[in-house]
């Protein structure tokens, strides 16, 4: 039988490490330096998973954040790996990447899944992005059970927030806000045309919102032509090959970029002298797809993610009033997660304690079997079972009380339970 004092947690939350950069602290110019193209994430997963002691890794890379959540290993090894990957020194890494560990990582994931950390307060798109990150981690064989458990519990908290508060009330997303700004700029959208470059999640969101706003003509293109060709007919749009981008830009009023190109794909030099109509460039990419100088051209306005974030801040009053309710749900769900974690640790100890009592009972019955009349043995058996149940009440109560209150380290809980048990 395993001694109670040697039982240890199946998963150690203290081993969770987090390094991340988000829209909350830095502009898109800084964030863009750390954006990860989809083609390179697999190699980075492999590198992180290869660090000594690492059991799992989750990389969340969107236009608003680049975050690394690691289960196990040494925090310094992770720091040095990212410094090497990005070609930065320790001071730059410390200035740009916020660090979290243990329960702070769990709390962050819960808040993330609830939309409390999003550029658009309460938006739910982040849930799909986390799920996509989980799929990529699993594909790279870098996903640990603890990371799955933390994320699934975060999704549960997020669902409660969206159903029990008004944090997500009303249509709001980066794409939606961008189109509101476009409508304000043009004083309407119905007679306009739009070129959407990129058909990932953001691009599709843009097209759906354009169609909902009644925009006259939508042209869709993507660096992978097949994706755009298949998507365009589904939304009543027109497909054009990516190679025709330069020719298509002058033909449209609104040009929306949302690609993972990792660089500017539209430069001012390409457009100089061509602008004969009022045009709006909505750059929803990170790093930026539209060169800043494009906004200096005659008849042209350029809007990027930083401008959208500023616009959003003035329209979030109603949602901000729901934040205390959402925070209360997060706190409650964190306590529930904490309790389940501790009980996962305590359960084997409880089973062992009960088995220990049963062994003592059986040994004593065996010893008495040769000393008392045989017809008394069933009575002694029933009596001893009742006594064992009574004796187990106090130590089991200690387990559960301290698990619920989380007032002691688990080793102290186990020691206290053992001290309360008979010799």
Cis amide bond preceding 161, omega within 30:
no
Average pLDDT over residues 141-149: 95
Residue 411 pLDDT > 50, yes or no?
Answer: no
How does pLDDT run across 318-329, given as a tens digit for each residue?
788 899 999 999
Residue 90 pLDDT > 90, yes or no?
Answer: yes
User: Around Cβ 407, how many Cβ atoms within 10 Å?
Assistant: 10
How does pLDDT run across 202-256, given as a tens digit for each residue?
888 888 777 777 787 889 999 889 888 988 887 788 999 999 999 999 999 999 9
> Which of the two residues, 91 and 417, has the higher pLDDT score?
91
The set of residues, in sequence order, having a beta carbon less than 8 Å from that of 69 and lying 6+ positions away, is: 16, 17, 18, 57, 58, 59, 60, 105, 109, 147
How does pLDDT run across 300-347, given as a tens digit for each residue?
999 998 888 887 776 677 788 899 999 999 999 998 888 777 767 666
How does pLDDT run across 243-254, given as a tens digit for each residue?
999 999 999 999
Least confident range from 167-176, 186-195, 196-205, 413-422: namely 413-422
Q: Are 157 and 146 in contact (CB under 8 A)?
A: no
Q: Quote the CA–CA distance of 343 and 397 in Å, as a whole number.
A: 12
Residue 190 pLDDT > 50, yes or no?
Answer: yes
Average pLDDT over residues 277-284: 90
Task: Please give the structure tokens belonging to residue 416.
Answer: 């206290």
Residue 327, pLDDT score: 94
Please choose, from the candidates 250, 311, 309, the residue with its C-alpha nearest in 3D space to the C-alpha of residue 279. 250
Average pLDDT over residues 398-405: 59
Residue 171, pLDDT score: 54
3-state SS track over the chain? CCCHHHCCCCCCHHHEEEEEEECCCCCHHHHHHHCCCHHHHHHHHHHHHCCCCEEEEEEEECCCEEEEEEEECCHHHHHHHHHHHHCCCHHHHHHHCEEEECHHHHHHHHHHHCCCCCCCCCCCHHHHHHHHHHHHHHHCCCCCHHHHHHHHHHHHHHHHHHHHCCCCCCCCCHHHHHHHHHHHHHCCCCCCEEEEECCCHHHHHHHHHHHHCCCCEEEEECCCHHHHHHHHHHHCCEECCHHHHHHHHHHCCEEEECCCCCCCCECHHHHCCCCCCCEEEEECCCCCCECHHHHHCCCEEEECHHHHHHHHHCCCHHHHCCHHHHHHHHHHHHHHHHHHHHHHHHHHHHHHHHHHHHHHHHHHHHHHCCCCCHHHHHHHHHHHHHHHHHHHHHHHHHHHHHHHHCCCCHHHHHHHHHHCCCC
Rounded percentage of the chain residues whose pLDDT exceeds 70: 87
Residue 178, pLDDT score: 83
Q: Quote the CA–CA distance of 335 and 389 in Å, as a whole number.
A: 29
Task: Please give the structure tokens belonging to residue 53.
Answer: 């002691």
Most confident by average pLDDT, 24-33, 128-137, 265-274: 128-137
């Amino acid at each position: 039988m395993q001694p109670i004092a040697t039982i240890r947690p199946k998963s150690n939350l203290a081993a969770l490490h987090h390094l991340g950069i988000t829209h909350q602290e830095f502009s898109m110019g800084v964030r863009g330096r750390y954006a990860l193209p989809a083609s390179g994430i697999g190699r980075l997963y492999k590198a992180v998973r290869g660090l000594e002691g690492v059991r799992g890794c989750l990389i969340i890379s969107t236009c608003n954040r680049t975050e690394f959540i690691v289960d196990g290993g040494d925090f310094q090894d992770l720091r040095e790996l990212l410094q090497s990957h990005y070609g930065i020194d320790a001071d730059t890494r410390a200035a740009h990447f916020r660090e979290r560990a243990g329960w702070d990582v769990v709390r962050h994931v819960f808040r993330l899944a609830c939309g409390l950390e999003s550029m658009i307060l309460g938006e739910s798109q982040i849930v799909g992005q986390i799920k996509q990150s989980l799929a990529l981690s699993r594909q790279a064989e870098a996903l640990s059970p603890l990371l799955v458990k933390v994320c699934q519990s975060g999704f549960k908290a997020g669902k409660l927030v969206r159903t029990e508060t008004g944090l997500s009330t009303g249509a709001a997303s980066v794409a939606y806000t961008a189109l509101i700004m476009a409508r304000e700029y043009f004083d309407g959208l119905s007679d306009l045309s739009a070129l959407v470059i990129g058909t990932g999640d953001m691009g599709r969101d843009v097209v759906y919102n354009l169609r909902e706003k009644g925009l006259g003509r939508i042209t869709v293109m993507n660096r992978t032509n097949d994706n755009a060709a298949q998507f365009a007919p589904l939304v009543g749009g027109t497909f054009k090959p990516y190679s025709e981008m330069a020719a298509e830009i002058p033909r449209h009023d609104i040009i929306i970029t949302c690609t993972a190109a990792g660089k500017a794909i539209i430069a001012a030099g390409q457009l100089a002298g061509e602008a004969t109509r009022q045009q709006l460039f909505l750059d929803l990419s990170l790093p930026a797809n539209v060169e800043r100088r494009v906004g200096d051209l005659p008849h042209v306005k350029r809007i990027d993610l930083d401008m959208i974030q500023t616009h959003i801040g003035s329209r979030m009053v109603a949602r901000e009033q729901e934040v205390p309710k959402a925070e209360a749900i997060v706190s409650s769900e964190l306590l529930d997660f904490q309790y389940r974690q501790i009980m996962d640790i305590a359960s084997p100890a409880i089973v062992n304690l009960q088995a220990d009592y049963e062994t003592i009972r059986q040994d004593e019955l065996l010893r008495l079997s040769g000393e008392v009349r045989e017809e008394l043995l069933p009575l002694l058996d029933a009596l001893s079972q009742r006594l064992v149940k009574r004796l187990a009440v106090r130590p089991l109560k200690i387990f559960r009380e301290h698990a619920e209150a989380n007032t002691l380290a688990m080793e102290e809980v186990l020691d206290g339970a053992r001290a309360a048990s008979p010799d």
